[in-house]
Amino acid sequence: MFVACLLSVGLALTAGAAPGVPPGTPAAAPTHTLWLVQPLYPGQDALVKRTEAGIAALIPPDLKEGQVIGREALAGFLKGRRGDLACVSGDARCREPMEAYLGSLGLERVVLVQAGQDDAGYRFRAVSVRPDSGARAQAETANPAFEKALAGVLVKFLTLNATVDAVTEPPGATVFLDGVKVGTTPFQTEVLPGEHTFRFELASHLPKEETRVVASREQVKLRPALEKVPARLVVKALPEGTRILVDGKPVGTDAVDQGIQPGTRTLSLLLEGYLPHEVKAEIAPGATYTLEHTMKPTSMQAFKLAMRRRQQATMARQSYLEGSFEMLSLTSATLELKPTKATEGLKDFRTSGLRAPGSRRLMGLGVEYGRYGQNFGVMLAGATYYTTGDVWTVGFPPNAEPGAPPGEQFDTRVRALSVRALQPQLRYVVGPVSFAVQAGLEFKGMLVEESGDTPAFDGLYALDLHATGQATARVFLYEGLYLSAGYQHGFTLLKKIAGTSNLRGGLGYAF
């Protein structure tokens, strides 16, 4: 109904809506196709006339008589014609009143074409309606070439394809249509009307190329005779993408097998990032000259290729197992501890603070296992055991708890255990170096024991949960063997053990 409304407006503007015929007057059988063109985008009205002329040029001669193209042609077509308005006025019942009116004017089919130009080139949308049956069809195409874009949409409604029959002497030549390999001779195909380039190549023969403007429904017969040459050129070049030139003219990419005139020829191989290769070839009559060459990269390209290979090898290893030496420091001097068992003088001491005014540094050994995908991974499990490298001096705050020795200080040794699991990781790989960041939760336990022969208490302990973040760099030395260095920072969640700052270095293997 949308298309019919647009067409009725076009008819009214063009022909003044010709009055209807008297009731009961038989309508002539519709025989014409109406083509109306509108701009697809605002401000592109100039394309309307060009499209109308293009449609007229593409329609085969045997169909031109029954075509009405554009508003001006429609005005001439409607002169003296009187449509049947019975369905429109309601005097008769019709499935689609407007379409019945169009059919009574002698229009077998109405095609609305919208023409526009955008970043993709020329774009056409078309909707076809047959008033007698209500059948609808639509099409849309885009192409940088105006003629090809228009032909691409019209072929949905008209038989426009031309036939191509190509036979070469001798047969067996490779056929290229507009630069695309389509088969070998003898060869038959159909093409849209417009300009097309046909190229024929056969080993030991000179290639032949022909450009023709093909009309609608034209039968094109190509009968090229390929000239045999007294010499043959075979070139194979690596890596892929290497351009092959003969006497400065491009003849192919990666590989060429073609005939060539004998004499002195300059063969050039070019590829960005690689050193150009040039050969002065003396090609004898009746001989086959063969050149096989692998391009040598420039120093920068060689470095890029080496880095790319190392990067691919690094990212292909998806699991790792790592041992590390770690140096952990507490970020504050306050701990909240409990006695390991009821001790005289500390039996009521459960959560009082203890100060550690020493270096607050522990040394430890850790192990970690994880897996990676392309850029994301997870540290599956890890643990570190720490101990103090020196003696810590800790003291009870004055009047901390009833029964606690006020202000008294003790020399102690501290042991700690850290357990972590399922921490997500993000990594970035540059050649043999991998950078990773991870974050998650870590369970920490700490045991404080008095040093000396006669300890005043058996031991104090604390358990805590920390939120940690870690950054790690890994340098691969050989195969999956790597060295690592990292920094970790933790924040206490339960306020039992102070936050931590951790430097670590390790040795691991990825597999």
Q: State phi, psi for 409 to the nearest 5 degrees.
A: -115, 150
Q: List the pLDDT tens digit at each of the 511 positions of the chain.
A: 445 444 554 554 444 444 555 555 555 566 788 889 999 888 888 889 998 888 888 888 877 888 888 888 888 887 877 766 666 555 666 666 666 667 677 778 888 999 999 888 899 998 888 877 777 888 888 888 888 888 888 888 777 788 899 999 899 999 999 889 999 999 998 888 888 899 998 877 888 888 888 888 888 899 999 887 778 889 999 999 999 999 999 999 999 988 888 889 999 999 988 899 999 999 888 788 999 999 988 888 878 888 888 888 888 888 999 999 999 988 887 777 777 775 555 544 443 444 444 457 889 999 999 998 888 999 999 999 999 866 766 665 554 454 445 555 667 788 999 999 999 999 998 888 999 999 999 999 988 887 766 666 677 888 999 999 999 999 998 888 999 999 999 999 998 888 999 999 999 999 8
Of the residues 294, 319, 346, the one at which a domain ends: 294
DSSP collapsed to 3 states, 2-69: HHHHHHHHHHHHHHCCCCCCCCCCCCCCCCEEEEEEEECCCCCCHHHHHHHHHHHHHCCHHHHHHEEE
In a domain, 88, yes or no: yes
**3 state SS of 493:** coil
Residue 206 · residue 259 · CB < 8 Å: yes
Q: Are residues 184 and 237 in the same domain?
A: no
Q: Are residues 473 and 342 in the same domain?
A: yes
Q: Are residues 464 and 396 in the same domain?
A: yes
Q: Which amino acid is at 259?
A: G
Beta-carbon contacts of 375 under 8 Å, excluding residues fewer than 6 positions away, are 426, 427, 428
Q: Are residues 342 and 197 in the same domain?
A: no
Nearest-angstrom CA–CA distance, 399 and 407: 8
In a domain, 493, yes or no: yes
Residue 113 · residue 153 · CB < 8 Å: yes
Of the residues 154, 171, 202, the one at which a domain ends: 154
Of the residues 294, 323, 344, the one at which a domain ends: 294
Quick one: residue 464, left, alpha or beta (phi over 0 = left, psi -120 to 50 = alpha)? beta
Q: H/E element holding 314?
A: helix 299-316
Per-residue pLDDT, 244? 95
**Could you tell me the two tokens for 422?**
């399922």
- Minimal CA–CA distance to 216: which of 193, 197, 191? 193
In a domain, 301, yes or no: no
In a domain, 299, yes or no: no
In a domain, 300, yes or no: no
CA dihedral 251, 257, 262, 268 (to 10 degrees): 40
Q: Are residues 312 and 450 in the same domain?
A: yes
Q: Are residues 501 and 404 in the same domain?
A: yes
Q: Are residues 401 and 339 in the same domain?
A: yes
Strand order in the sheet with 180-184: 180-184, 174-177, 194-201, 208-214
* Residue 200 DSSP class: E
Q: Are residues 334 and 480 in the same domain?
A: yes
The CA-CA-CA angle for residues 322, 326, 332, to 5°, reads 140
In a domain, 122, yes or no: yes
Q: Are residues 411 and 490 in the same domain?
A: yes
The CATH number of residue 145's host domain is: 3.40.50
Q: Are residues 147 and 74 in the same domain?
A: yes
Q: Which amino acid is at 57?
A: A
**Could you tell me the two tokens for 470?**
């870690």
The residue range of the domain holding 201 is: 162-222
Nearest-angstrom CA–CA distance, 453 and 231: 101
What interhelical angle do 146-154 and 46-58 show, nearest 10? 60
Q: Are residues 218 and 246 in the same domain?
A: no
In a domain, 242, yes or no: yes
Half-sphere exposure of 65 (CA within 13 A, CB side): 2
Q: State phi, psi for 37 to the nearest 5 degrees.
A: -115, 135
In a domain, 448, yes or no: yes
Residue 213 · residue 195 · CB < 8 Å: yes
Q: How many domains does the chain have?
A: 4
The CATH number of residue 169's host domain is: 2.60.40.1120
Q: Which amino acid is at 169?
A: E
Q: Are residues 265 and 381 in the same domain?
A: no
Beta-carbon contacts of 63 under 8 Å, excluding residues fewer than 6 positions away, are 158
> Whole-prediction pTM value?
0.44
